Chain A
Protein backbone atom coordinates (compact mmCIF):
# COMPACT_ATOMS: atom_id res chain seq x y z
CA UNK A 1 0.00 0.00 0.00
CA UNK A 2 1.02 3.56 -0.59
CA UNK A 3 2.48 5.47 2.35
CA UNK A 4 0.02 7.63 4.21
CA UNK A 5 -0.58 11.00 2.72
CA UNK A 6 0.33 13.92 4.91
CA UNK A 7 -2.24 16.62 4.68
CA UNK A 8 -0.16 19.73 4.48
CA UNK A 9 -3.12 22.06 4.51
CA UNK A 10 -3.70 21.16 8.15
CA UNK A 11 -0.11 21.79 9.22
CA UNK A 12 0.69 22.68 11.93
CA UNK A 13 -1.83 22.63 14.73
CA UNK A 14 -0.15 25.49 16.49
CA UNK A 15 0.12 28.76 14.69
CA UNK A 16 3.71 29.06 13.48
CA UNK A 17 3.82 32.78 14.32
CA UNK A 18 2.47 33.12 17.81
CA UNK A 19 2.34 29.46 18.86
CA UNK A 20 -1.33 29.72 19.74
CA UNK A 21 -3.20 26.50 19.24
CA UNK A 22 -5.44 26.18 16.23
CA UNK A 23 -8.63 24.80 17.66
CA UNK A 24 -10.67 22.11 15.98
CA UNK A 25 -14.06 20.63 16.68
CA UNK A 26 -12.51 17.26 16.17
CA UNK A 27 -8.77 16.78 16.39
CA UNK A 28 -7.32 13.47 15.25
CA UNK A 29 -6.84 11.84 11.90
CA UNK A 30 -10.41 10.85 11.16
CA UNK A 31 -12.02 13.95 9.78
CA UNK A 32 -15.77 13.54 9.41
CA UNK A 33 -15.95 10.37 11.48
CA UNK A 34 -18.78 10.39 13.99
CA UNK A 35 -19.68 7.47 16.22
CA UNK A 36 -22.74 9.35 17.43
CA UNK A 37 -24.12 9.45 13.89
CA UNK A 38 -24.41 5.67 14.16
CA UNK A 39 -26.49 5.64 17.33
CA UNK A 40 -29.52 4.21 15.53
CA UNK A 41 -27.43 1.04 15.22
CA UNK A 42 -26.86 0.78 18.97
CA UNK A 43 -29.11 -1.05 21.37
CA UNK A 44 -31.37 0.90 23.68
CA UNK A 45 -29.50 0.30 26.91
CA UNK A 46 -26.17 1.37 25.46
CA UNK A 47 -27.59 4.45 23.75
CA UNK A 48 -29.12 5.57 27.01
CA UNK A 49 -25.88 5.19 28.94
CA UNK A 50 -23.73 6.96 26.36
CA UNK A 51 -26.12 9.84 25.75
CA UNK A 52 -26.60 10.35 29.44
CA UNK A 53 -22.85 10.53 29.85
CA UNK A 54 -22.79 13.40 27.34
CA UNK A 55 -25.73 15.39 28.57
CA UNK A 56 -26.35 14.78 32.26
CA UNK A 57 -25.46 17.70 34.52
CA UNK A 58 -22.86 16.80 37.11
CA UNK A 59 -22.83 19.23 40.01
CA UNK A 60 -19.55 19.00 41.88
CA UNK A 61 -20.47 17.29 45.14
CA UNK A 62 -17.32 15.68 46.47
CA UNK A 63 -14.69 18.39 46.03
CA UNK A 64 -15.00 21.77 47.71
CA UNK A 65 -14.96 24.72 45.28
CA UNK A 66 -11.30 25.40 46.06
CA UNK A 67 -10.32 21.76 45.61
CA UNK A 68 -12.37 21.63 42.44
CA UNK A 69 -10.47 24.59 40.97
CA UNK A 70 -7.14 22.97 41.73
CA UNK A 71 -8.13 19.54 40.49
CA UNK A 72 -9.69 20.91 37.31
CA UNK A 73 -6.37 22.60 36.53
CA UNK A 74 -4.47 19.38 37.28
CA UNK A 75 -6.72 17.27 35.07
CA UNK A 76 -6.38 19.82 32.27
CA UNK A 77 -2.66 19.20 32.28
CA UNK A 78 -2.87 15.41 32.48
CA UNK A 79 -5.03 15.38 29.36
CA UNK A 80 -4.81 18.90 27.85
CA UNK A 81 -7.50 19.92 25.38
CA UNK A 82 -6.36 23.30 24.06
CA UNK A 83 -6.62 21.92 20.55
CA UNK A 84 -10.38 21.47 20.99
CA UNK A 85 -12.86 24.27 20.57
CA UNK A 86 -14.41 25.32 23.87
CA UNK A 87 -17.76 23.71 23.07
CA UNK A 88 -16.16 20.37 22.25
CA UNK A 89 -14.00 19.86 25.33
CA UNK A 90 -14.61 16.76 27.36
CA UNK A 91 -15.32 17.38 31.03
CA UNK A 92 -12.88 15.39 33.16
CA UNK A 93 -13.59 16.60 36.68
CA UNK A 94 -17.33 15.78 36.92
CA UNK A 95 -16.93 12.03 36.27
CA UNK A 96 -14.12 11.88 38.84
CA UNK A 97 -16.15 13.87 41.37
CA UNK A 98 -19.16 11.65 40.75
CA UNK A 99 -17.10 8.51 41.22
CA UNK A 100 -15.63 9.69 44.50
CA UNK A 101 -18.95 11.02 45.77
CA UNK A 102 -20.72 7.75 45.09
CA UNK A 103 -17.74 5.68 46.20
CA UNK A 104 -17.44 3.77 42.93
CA UNK A 105 -14.06 2.20 43.46
CA UNK A 106 -12.16 -0.26 41.31
CA UNK A 107 -12.60 -3.06 43.83
CA UNK A 108 -9.43 -2.63 45.85
CA UNK A 109 -7.16 -0.31 47.73
CA UNK A 110 -3.42 -0.66 48.08
CA UNK A 111 -2.16 -1.41 51.54
CA UNK A 112 0.11 1.64 51.37
CA UNK A 113 -2.59 4.01 50.16
CA UNK A 114 -5.49 5.74 51.85
CA UNK A 115 -8.93 5.46 50.31
CA UNK A 116 -9.38 7.11 46.91
CA UNK A 117 -11.38 9.90 48.54
CA UNK A 118 -8.75 10.65 51.16
CA UNK A 119 -5.99 10.45 48.58
CA UNK A 120 -7.65 12.98 46.30
CA UNK A 121 -8.45 15.36 49.18
CA UNK A 122 -4.90 15.28 50.35
CA UNK A 123 -3.62 15.60 46.79
CA UNK A 124 -5.75 18.67 46.09
CA UNK A 125 -4.26 20.24 49.17
CA UNK A 126 -0.75 19.15 48.25
CA UNK A 127 -0.97 20.58 44.72
CA UNK A 128 -2.02 23.88 46.20
CA UNK A 129 0.87 23.80 48.68
CA UNK A 130 3.30 22.96 45.89
CA UNK A 131 2.05 25.95 43.89
CA UNK A 132 2.24 28.32 46.83
CA UNK A 133 5.71 27.14 47.83
CA UNK A 134 7.16 27.29 44.33
CA UNK A 135 5.40 30.31 42.82
CA UNK A 136 3.40 31.96 45.57
CA UNK A 137 0.13 31.64 43.71
CA UNK A 138 -2.73 29.15 43.56
CA UNK A 139 -2.21 26.12 41.34
CA UNK A 140 -5.00 27.06 38.96
CA UNK A 141 -3.55 30.56 38.50
CA UNK A 142 -0.17 29.29 37.38
CA UNK A 143 1.11 29.35 33.82
CA UNK A 144 0.88 26.07 31.94
CA UNK A 145 4.62 25.57 32.14
CA UNK A 146 4.69 26.16 35.88
CA UNK A 147 1.89 23.69 36.42
CA UNK A 148 3.59 21.10 34.29
CA UNK A 149 6.90 21.55 36.07
CA UNK A 150 5.20 20.81 39.37
CA UNK A 151 3.37 17.80 37.95
CA UNK A 152 6.56 16.59 36.33
CA UNK A 153 8.23 16.57 39.72
CA UNK A 154 5.41 14.46 41.08
CA UNK A 155 5.61 12.15 38.09
CA UNK A 156 9.31 11.70 38.82
CA UNK A 157 8.31 10.84 42.41
CA UNK A 158 10.29 13.80 43.73
CA UNK A 159 7.57 16.38 44.33
CA UNK A 160 8.80 19.88 45.01
CA UNK A 161 6.55 20.10 48.00
CA UNK A 162 6.67 20.70 51.74
CA UNK A 163 7.78 17.59 53.60
CA UNK A 164 4.50 16.18 54.72
CA UNK A 165 2.29 17.26 51.83
CA UNK A 166 2.34 13.78 50.30
CA UNK A 167 2.81 11.89 53.55
CA UNK A 168 0.97 8.59 53.67
CA UNK A 169 0.54 8.47 49.92
CA UNK A 170 2.53 6.22 47.63
CA UNK A 171 3.18 8.78 44.92
CA UNK A 172 3.73 6.27 42.15
CA UNK A 173 0.35 4.70 42.86
CA UNK A 174 -1.38 8.03 43.18
CA UNK A 175 0.01 9.18 39.85
CA UNK A 176 -1.28 6.05 38.17
CA UNK A 177 -4.67 6.58 39.80
CA UNK A 178 -4.80 10.16 38.60
CA UNK A 179 -3.85 9.38 35.01
CA UNK A 180 -6.16 6.40 35.00
CA UNK A 181 -9.11 8.50 36.16
CA UNK A 182 -8.41 11.06 33.45
CA UNK A 183 -8.23 8.35 30.79
CA UNK A 184 -11.46 6.81 32.05
CA UNK A 185 -13.25 10.13 31.72
CA UNK A 186 -11.77 11.26 28.42
CA UNK A 187 -11.82 8.04 26.43
CA UNK A 188 -15.34 7.17 27.53
CA UNK A 189 -16.63 10.07 25.47
CA UNK A 190 -17.86 9.68 21.88
CA UNK A 191 -15.85 12.74 20.83
CA UNK A 192 -12.69 10.99 21.99
CA UNK A 193 -13.71 7.89 20.03
CA UNK A 194 -14.07 10.06 16.93
CA UNK A 195 -10.63 11.52 17.61
CA UNK A 196 -8.87 8.16 17.76
CA UNK A 197 -11.02 6.36 15.19
CA UNK A 198 -12.57 3.85 17.58
CA UNK A 199 -15.89 2.43 16.37
CA UNK A 200 -17.81 2.88 19.63
CA UNK A 201 -20.69 0.66 20.71
CA UNK A 202 -21.19 -2.35 18.45
CA UNK A 203 -24.40 -4.22 19.10
CA UNK A 204 -26.59 -5.40 17.38
CA UNK A 205 -24.34 -4.43 14.49
CA UNK A 206 -20.85 -5.86 14.81
CA UNK A 207 -17.86 -5.67 12.49
CA UNK A 208 -17.19 -7.33 9.17
CA UNK A 209 -13.81 -5.93 8.10
CA UNK A 210 -11.69 -7.55 10.73
CA UNK A 211 -8.28 -7.52 9.13
CA UNK A 212 -5.65 -5.11 7.86
CA UNK A 213 -7.23 -2.15 9.64
CA UNK A 214 -9.89 -1.80 6.97
CA UNK A 215 -12.65 0.63 7.97
CA UNK A 216 -16.27 -0.45 8.08
CA UNK A 217 -18.52 1.24 5.50
CA UNK A 218 -19.50 3.81 8.11
CA UNK A 219 -15.98 4.38 9.41
CA UNK A 220 -13.46 6.58 7.67
CA UNK A 221 -9.90 6.09 6.54
CA UNK A 222 -7.13 7.66 8.49
CA UNK A 223 -5.81 10.96 7.15
CA UNK A 224 -2.61 11.68 8.99
CA UNK A 225 -1.15 15.11 9.41
CA UNK A 226 1.66 16.45 11.48
CA UNK A 227 0.99 18.62 14.43
CA UNK A 228 2.88 20.20 17.26
CA UNK A 229 1.63 20.75 20.76
CA UNK A 230 1.59 24.32 22.05
CA UNK A 231 5.08 25.66 22.59
CA UNK A 232 4.69 26.01 26.35
CA UNK A 233 4.58 22.36 27.27
CA UNK A 234 6.87 19.71 28.67
CA UNK A 235 4.69 16.77 27.92
CA UNK A 236 4.81 16.31 24.16
CA UNK A 237 7.64 13.83 24.48
CA UNK A 238 7.91 10.76 22.35
CA UNK A 239 8.92 8.91 25.55
CA UNK A 240 11.80 6.56 25.15
CA UNK A 241 11.10 2.98 24.30
CA UNK A 242 11.57 1.71 27.81
CA UNK A 243 10.88 -1.78 28.95
CA UNK A 244 9.00 -0.65 32.01
CA UNK A 245 10.42 -3.51 33.96
CA UNK A 246 9.86 -1.95 37.31
CA UNK A 247 6.66 -0.25 36.28
CA UNK A 248 3.92 -2.39 37.72
CA UNK A 249 0.35 -1.90 36.77
CA UNK A 250 -1.06 0.36 39.38
CA UNK A 251 -4.70 0.50 38.54
CA UNK A 252 -6.96 -2.38 37.62
CA UNK A 253 -6.38 -2.20 33.94
CA UNK A 254 -9.44 -2.79 31.85
CA UNK A 255 -8.95 -6.51 32.20
CA UNK A 256 -7.48 -7.40 28.87
CA UNK A 257 -7.22 -11.12 29.58
Chain B
Protein backbone atom coordinates (compact mmCIF):
# COMPACT_ATOMS: atom_id res chain seq x y z
CA UNK B 1 0.00 0.00 0.00
CA UNK B 2 1.05 3.52 -0.70
CA UNK B 3 2.25 5.51 2.30
CA UNK B 4 0.26 8.44 0.94
CA UNK B 5 -3.46 8.78 1.50
CA UNK B 6 -5.65 8.10 -1.50
CA UNK B 7 -6.19 11.37 -3.41
CA UNK B 8 -8.28 10.01 -6.25
CA UNK B 9 -11.44 11.99 -7.03
CA UNK B 10 -13.62 9.32 -5.50
CA UNK B 11 -11.70 9.38 -2.25
CA UNK B 12 -11.65 13.19 -2.11
CA UNK B 13 -15.38 13.35 -2.62
CA UNK B 14 -15.81 11.34 0.53
CA UNK B 15 -14.22 14.21 2.47
CA UNK B 16 -16.99 16.57 1.47
CA UNK B 17 -19.54 17.12 4.25
CA UNK B 18 -22.76 15.12 3.82
CA UNK B 19 -25.26 17.59 2.40
CA UNK B 20 -22.93 18.36 -0.53
CA UNK B 21 -21.38 14.95 -0.85
CA UNK B 22 -24.12 13.37 -2.82
CA UNK B 23 -24.30 15.92 -5.67
CA UNK B 24 -20.50 15.92 -5.87
CA UNK B 25 -20.54 12.17 -6.14
CA UNK B 26 -23.01 12.37 -8.96
CA UNK B 27 -20.87 14.92 -10.83
CA UNK B 28 -17.73 12.86 -10.48
CA UNK B 29 -19.59 9.76 -11.50
CA UNK B 30 -20.90 11.42 -14.63
CA UNK B 31 -17.50 12.78 -15.55
CA UNK B 32 -15.82 9.46 -15.00
CA UNK B 33 -18.28 7.73 -17.27
CA UNK B 34 -18.38 10.35 -19.98
CA UNK B 35 -22.03 11.11 -19.44
CA UNK B 36 -21.95 14.91 -19.39
CA UNK B 37 -22.61 15.96 -22.93
CA UNK B 38 -25.34 18.43 -22.02
CA UNK B 39 -23.26 20.28 -19.44
CA UNK B 40 -20.33 20.27 -21.77
CA UNK B 41 -22.48 21.68 -24.57
CA UNK B 42 -23.49 24.53 -22.28
CA UNK B 43 -19.85 25.14 -21.44
CA UNK B 44 -19.01 25.20 -25.14
CA UNK B 45 -21.79 27.70 -25.69
CA UNK B 46 -20.60 30.06 -22.99
CA UNK B 47 -16.88 29.80 -23.70
CA UNK B 48 -17.37 30.46 -27.38
CA UNK B 49 -19.43 33.52 -26.58
CA UNK B 50 -16.60 34.80 -24.41
CA UNK B 51 -13.89 34.00 -26.90
CA UNK B 52 -16.01 35.50 -29.65
CA UNK B 53 -16.17 38.71 -27.65
CA UNK B 54 -12.46 38.67 -27.06
CA UNK B 55 -11.53 38.02 -30.65
CA UNK B 56 -14.06 40.68 -31.59
CA UNK B 57 -12.34 43.47 -29.76
CA UNK B 58 -8.87 42.18 -30.55
CA UNK B 59 -9.68 42.15 -34.25
CA UNK B 60 -11.32 45.54 -33.92
CA UNK B 61 -7.92 46.68 -32.69
CA UNK B 62 -6.57 45.07 -35.82
CA UNK B 63 -9.20 47.02 -37.79
CA UNK B 64 -10.37 43.89 -39.64
CA UNK B 65 -7.71 44.79 -42.14
CA UNK B 66 -8.09 41.34 -43.67
CA UNK B 67 -11.67 40.08 -44.18
CA UNK B 68 -10.63 36.67 -42.88
CA UNK B 69 -10.48 38.32 -39.46
CA UNK B 70 -14.26 38.16 -39.38
CA UNK B 71 -14.30 34.35 -39.51
CA UNK B 72 -13.49 33.59 -35.86
CA UNK B 73 -16.25 35.95 -34.76
CA UNK B 74 -18.81 34.38 -37.05
CA UNK B 75 -17.65 30.91 -36.13
CA UNK B 76 -17.82 31.52 -32.43
CA UNK B 77 -21.39 32.67 -32.91
CA UNK B 78 -22.14 29.52 -34.85
CA UNK B 79 -20.41 27.38 -32.27
CA UNK B 80 -22.28 29.02 -29.43
CA UNK B 81 -25.55 28.31 -31.19
CA UNK B 82 -24.47 24.75 -31.92
CA UNK B 83 -23.53 24.30 -28.27
CA UNK B 84 -26.98 25.50 -27.29
CA UNK B 85 -28.57 23.09 -29.74
CA UNK B 86 -26.34 20.32 -28.43
CA UNK B 87 -27.73 20.92 -24.99
CA UNK B 88 -31.23 20.18 -26.19
CA UNK B 89 -30.65 17.60 -28.87
CA UNK B 90 -28.45 14.56 -29.01
CA UNK B 91 -28.54 14.64 -32.78
CA UNK B 92 -27.44 18.29 -32.89
CA UNK B 93 -24.64 17.52 -30.48
CA UNK B 94 -23.34 14.73 -32.67
CA UNK B 95 -23.70 16.61 -35.95
CA UNK B 96 -23.85 20.40 -35.96
CA UNK B 97 -21.79 20.89 -32.86
CA UNK B 98 -19.15 18.44 -34.03
CA UNK B 99 -18.83 20.00 -37.46
CA UNK B 100 -18.86 23.55 -36.11
CA UNK B 101 -16.16 22.57 -33.65
CA UNK B 102 -13.91 21.03 -36.27
CA UNK B 103 -14.30 24.02 -38.58
CA UNK B 104 -13.57 26.42 -35.72
CA UNK B 105 -10.54 24.37 -34.72
CA UNK B 106 -9.28 24.54 -38.29
CA UNK B 107 -9.92 28.28 -38.30
CA UNK B 108 -7.79 28.59 -35.17
CA UNK B 109 -4.94 26.76 -36.88
CA UNK B 110 -5.22 28.92 -39.99
CA UNK B 111 -5.30 31.99 -37.78
CA UNK B 112 -2.15 30.78 -36.06
CA UNK B 113 -0.49 30.72 -39.47
CA UNK B 114 -1.73 34.23 -40.26
CA UNK B 115 -0.49 35.57 -36.95
CA UNK B 116 2.95 34.07 -37.54
CA UNK B 117 2.95 35.67 -40.97
CA UNK B 118 1.78 38.96 -39.49
CA UNK B 119 4.78 39.02 -37.19
CA UNK B 120 7.10 38.16 -40.06
CA UNK B 121 5.76 41.08 -42.06
CA UNK B 122 6.41 43.65 -39.37
CA UNK B 123 9.57 45.71 -39.83
CA UNK B 124 12.45 43.48 -38.77
CA UNK B 125 10.16 40.43 -38.79
CA UNK B 126 11.39 37.50 -36.74
CA UNK B 127 14.78 39.15 -36.37
CA UNK B 128 13.09 41.22 -33.66
CA UNK B 129 11.23 38.33 -32.02
CA UNK B 130 10.37 39.94 -28.73
CA UNK B 131 9.40 43.36 -30.01
CA UNK B 132 7.31 41.97 -32.83
CA UNK B 133 5.72 39.30 -30.65
CA UNK B 134 4.69 41.92 -28.17
CA UNK B 135 3.53 44.50 -30.69
CA UNK B 136 2.38 42.20 -33.48
CA UNK B 137 -0.67 39.96 -33.66
CA UNK B 138 -0.81 37.80 -30.49
CA UNK B 139 0.71 34.61 -31.80
CA UNK B 140 -0.94 32.06 -29.52
CA UNK B 141 -4.34 33.69 -29.39
CA UNK B 142 -5.77 31.70 -32.32
CA UNK B 143 -4.75 28.44 -30.65
CA UNK B 144 -6.33 29.50 -27.40
CA UNK B 145 -9.38 30.54 -29.38
CA UNK B 146 -9.51 26.89 -30.42
CA UNK B 147 -10.04 25.84 -26.80
CA UNK B 148 -13.81 26.11 -26.91
CA UNK B 149 -13.86 24.33 -30.28
CA UNK B 150 -11.80 21.58 -28.74
CA UNK B 151 -14.30 21.30 -25.91
CA UNK B 152 -16.99 21.09 -28.55
CA UNK B 153 -15.26 18.18 -30.26
CA UNK B 154 -14.97 16.38 -26.95
CA UNK B 155 -18.58 17.11 -26.06
CA UNK B 156 -19.81 15.76 -29.36
CA UNK B 157 -18.38 12.32 -28.54
CA UNK B 158 -19.65 12.17 -24.97
CA UNK B 159 -22.72 10.37 -23.72
CA UNK B 160 -25.61 12.37 -22.43
CA UNK B 161 -26.52 12.75 -18.80
CA UNK B 162 -29.67 10.69 -19.27
CA UNK B 163 -27.57 7.79 -20.54
CA UNK B 164 -26.02 7.44 -17.13
CA UNK B 165 -26.99 4.29 -15.37
CA UNK B 166 -28.97 3.16 -18.40
CA UNK B 167 -30.81 0.04 -17.36
CA UNK B 168 -28.71 0.02 -14.25
CA UNK B 169 -25.42 0.00 -16.07
CA UNK B 170 -23.40 2.57 -17.92
CA UNK B 171 -22.78 2.06 -21.59
CA UNK B 172 -19.20 1.42 -20.69
CA UNK B 173 -20.18 -1.92 -19.25
CA UNK B 174 -22.67 -2.80 -21.92
CA UNK B 175 -20.11 -3.21 -24.70
CA UNK B 176 -22.62 -3.52 -27.44
CA UNK B 177 -21.63 -2.57 -30.94
CA UNK B 178 -18.29 -1.25 -29.84
CA UNK B 179 -16.87 -4.69 -29.43
CA UNK B 180 -17.25 -5.20 -33.14
CA UNK B 181 -14.60 -2.69 -33.98
CA UNK B 182 -11.32 -1.77 -32.40
CA UNK B 183 -11.89 0.83 -29.68
CA UNK B 184 -10.17 4.13 -30.55
CA UNK B 185 -9.89 7.59 -28.95
CA UNK B 186 -13.52 8.30 -29.65
CA UNK B 187 -14.48 5.29 -27.60
CA UNK B 188 -12.28 6.48 -24.78
CA UNK B 189 -13.96 9.86 -24.77
CA UNK B 190 -17.36 8.24 -24.93
CA UNK B 191 -16.79 6.39 -21.72
CA UNK B 192 -14.92 9.15 -19.91
CA UNK B 193 -11.49 7.57 -20.20
CA UNK B 194 -9.34 10.35 -21.64
CA UNK B 195 -7.24 11.65 -18.80
CA UNK B 196 -3.92 11.47 -20.66
CA UNK B 197 -5.40 13.02 -23.75
CA UNK B 198 -6.70 15.91 -21.67
CA UNK B 199 -3.33 16.25 -19.93
CA UNK B 200 -1.61 16.81 -23.25
CA UNK B 201 -4.10 19.48 -24.19
CA UNK B 202 -3.78 21.08 -20.77
CA UNK B 203 -0.02 21.24 -21.17
CA UNK B 204 -0.23 22.81 -24.62
CA UNK B 205 -2.86 25.30 -23.55
CA UNK B 206 -0.92 26.26 -20.45
CA UNK B 207 2.27 26.86 -22.36
CA UNK B 208 0.45 29.05 -24.90
CA UNK B 209 -1.47 31.00 -22.30
CA UNK B 210 1.55 31.32 -20.01
CA UNK B 211 3.63 32.43 -22.98
CA UNK B 212 1.14 35.19 -23.68
CA UNK B 213 1.22 36.18 -20.04
CA UNK B 214 4.99 36.27 -20.16
CA UNK B 215 5.37 38.55 -23.12
CA UNK B 216 2.43 40.78 -22.27
CA UNK B 217 3.71 41.28 -18.75
CA UNK B 218 7.20 41.72 -20.15
CA UNK B 219 5.76 44.50 -22.28
CA UNK B 220 4.59 46.06 -19.06
CA UNK B 221 8.05 45.61 -17.60
CA UNK B 222 6.71 43.31 -14.81
CA UNK B 223 5.76 46.49 -13.01
CA UNK B 224 4.00 44.53 -10.26
CA UNK B 225 5.58 41.41 -8.83
CA UNK B 226 2.28 39.57 -9.03
CA UNK B 227 2.66 39.70 -12.80
CA UNK B 228 5.19 36.90 -12.49
CA UNK B 229 2.63 34.51 -10.99
CA UNK B 230 1.11 33.11 -14.20
CA UNK B 231 4.58 32.87 -15.70
CA UNK B 232 5.79 30.85 -12.70
CA UNK B 233 2.67 28.70 -12.60
CA UNK B 234 3.00 27.79 -16.26
CA UNK B 235 5.85 25.27 -15.91
CA UNK B 236 4.23 23.89 -12.76
CA UNK B 237 0.88 23.19 -14.37
CA UNK B 238 2.32 22.09 -17.71
CA UNK B 239 4.85 19.92 -15.90
CA UNK B 240 2.18 18.38 -13.69
CA UNK B 241 0.05 17.61 -16.73
CA UNK B 242 2.93 15.96 -18.55
CA UNK B 243 4.00 14.04 -15.45
CA UNK B 244 0.48 12.79 -15.13
CA UNK B 245 0.91 11.05 -18.47
CA UNK B 246 3.30 8.66 -16.82
CA UNK B 247 2.13 8.63 -13.26
CA UNK B 248 -1.36 8.08 -11.99
CA UNK B 249 -0.31 9.36 -8.62
CA UNK B 250 0.79 12.68 -10.13
CA UNK B 251 -2.56 12.92 -11.81
CA UNK B 252 -4.21 12.49 -8.43
CA UNK B 253 -1.98 14.86 -6.48
CA UNK B 254 0.12 17.50 -8.26
CA UNK B 255 -2.28 17.97 -11.11
CA UNK B 256 -5.34 19.01 -9.09
CA UNK B 257 -3.26 21.29 -6.87
CA UNK B 258 -1.57 23.00 -9.80
CA UNK B 259 -4.88 23.27 -11.62
CA UNK B 260 -6.60 24.80 -8.62
CA UNK B 261 -3.78 27.33 -8.29
CA UNK B 262 -4.07 28.24 -11.95
CA UNK B 263 -7.81 28.71 -11.65
CA UNK B 264 -7.39 30.85 -8.57
CA UNK B 265 -4.63 32.79 -10.29
CA UNK B 266 -6.87 33.42 -13.25
CA UNK B 267 -9.65 34.77 -11.08
CA UNK B 268 -7.33 37.02 -9.09
CA UNK B 269 -5.68 38.12 -12.34
CA UNK B 270 -9.01 39.11 -13.80
CA UNK B 271 -9.58 41.27 -10.75
CA UNK B 272 -6.21 42.92 -11.19
CA UNK B 273 -6.85 43.50 -14.87
CA UNK B 274 -10.17 45.17 -14.14
CA UNK B 275 -8.46 47.32 -11.56
CA UNK B 276 -5.78 48.12 -14.14
CA UNK B 277 -8.41 49.30 -16.58
CA UNK B 278 -10.06 51.51 -13.99
CA UNK B 279 -6.72 53.03 -13.04
CA UNK B 280 -5.83 54.02 -16.58
CA UNK B 281 -5.97 57.71 -17.54
CA UNK B 282 -9.63 58.52 -17.97
CA UNK B 283 -10.55 55.35 -16.05
CA UNK B 284 -14.25 54.58 -16.18
CA UNK B 285 -14.92 57.72 -18.18
CA UNK B 286 -13.33 56.05 -21.19
CA UNK B 287 -14.63 52.52 -20.65
CA UNK B 288 -14.45 51.27 -24.22
CA UNK B 289 -11.05 52.66 -25.02
CA UNK B 290 -9.54 51.53 -21.76
CA UNK B 291 -10.97 48.04 -22.15
CA UNK B 292 -9.48 47.96 -25.61
CA UNK B 293 -6.00 49.07 -24.63
CA UNK B 294 -5.89 48.34 -20.92
CA UNK B 295 -4.89 44.95 -19.53
CA UNK B 296 -6.90 42.31 -21.45
CA UNK B 297 -9.81 41.24 -19.27
CA UNK B 298 -10.20 37.79 -20.75
CA UNK B 299 -6.55 36.76 -20.78
CA UNK B 300 -6.40 35.64 -17.12
CA UNK B 301 -9.65 33.74 -17.66
CA UNK B 302 -7.98 31.80 -20.44
CA UNK B 303 -5.27 30.84 -18.01
CA UNK B 304 -7.97 29.79 -15.58
CA UNK B 305 -9.54 27.75 -18.36
CA UNK B 306 -6.29 25.83 -18.70
CA UNK B 307 -6.51 25.15 -14.98
CA UNK B 308 -10.05 23.98 -15.53
CA UNK B 309 -8.90 21.56 -18.23
CA UNK B 310 -6.31 20.22 -15.81
CA UNK B 311 -8.96 19.83 -13.15
CA UNK B 312 -11.19 17.99 -15.58
CA UNK B 313 -8.30 15.70 -16.43
CA UNK B 314 -7.88 14.93 -12.75
CA UNK B 315 -11.51 13.94 -12.47
CA UNK B 316 -11.31 11.76 -15.56
CA UNK B 317 -10.52 8.08 -15.76
CA UNK B 318 -7.32 7.07 -17.48
CA UNK B 319 -7.26 5.47 -20.89
CA UNK B 320 -7.52 1.68 -20.90
CA UNK B 321 -4.23 1.03 -22.61
Contacts and interface: CB of A to CB of B under 8 A. Distances in A.
Do A and B touch (CB < 8 Å)? yes
Given A214-B221, A214-B223, A215-B221, A208 B124 contact: no
State the 5 A-B residue pairs at the shortest beta-carbon distance, nearest first: A204-B123, A204-B124, A214-B221, A208-B134, A208-B219
Contacts of B124: 41, 204-205
Contacts of A215: 221
Contacts of B135: 206, 208
Given A41-B124, A209-B220, 4 more contacts: A205-B123, A209-B219, A209-B221, A214-B221
A214 B135 CA distance: 15
A205 B127 CA distance: 10
Interface string B118-135: 000001100110110011
A206 B220 contact: no
Interface in A208-230: 208-209, 212, 214-215, 217
Given A204-B123, A204-B124, A214 B220 contact: yes
A203 B122 CA distance: 11
Size category, A interface: 10 to 19
A208 B131 contact: yes
Interface centre among A41, A204, A208, A214, by most B CB within 10 Å?
Answer: A208
Contacts of B220: 209, 214
Interface in B135-159: 135
A35 B305 CA distance: 42
Given A206-B135, A208-B135, A209-B220, A217 B123 contact: no
Given A203-B123, A208-B219, A217 B130 contact: yes
Contacts of B221: 209, 214-215
A205 B219 contact: no
Contacts, number: 28
Interface in B73-100: none
Interface string A170-212: 0000000000000000000000000000000001111011001
Nearest to B130: A217
Contacts of A209: 219-221
Contact of B128 (A204, A212, A214): A204
Contacts of B123: 203-206
Contacts of A212: 223
Contacts of A208: 131, 134-135, 219
18 contacts: A41-B124, A204-B123, A204-B124, A204-B127, A204-B128, A205-B123, A206-B123, A206-B131, A208-B134, A208-B135, A208-B219, A209-B220, A209-B221, A214-B221, A214-B223, A215-B221, A217-B130, A217-B218
A206 B249 CA distance: 49
A205 to B, nearest CB: 5
Nearest to B223: A214
A213 B189 CA distance: 52
A64 B221 CA distance: 53
A169 B218 CA distance: 55
A209 B131 CA distance: 10
A206 B132 CA distance: 9
A205 B219 CA distance: 14
A204 B129 CA distance: 12
A11 B134 CA distance: 39
A217 B133 CA distance: 14
Nearest to A215: B221
Contacts of A203: 123
Nearest to B123: A204
A183 to B, nearest CB: 30
Contacts of B130: 217
Interface in B102-130: 123-124, 127-128, 130
B223 A205 contact: no
B162 to A, nearest CB: 53
Interface in A101-122: none
Contacts of B128: 41, 204-205
Contacts of B127: 204
Interface in A123-147: none
B16 to A, nearest CB: 46
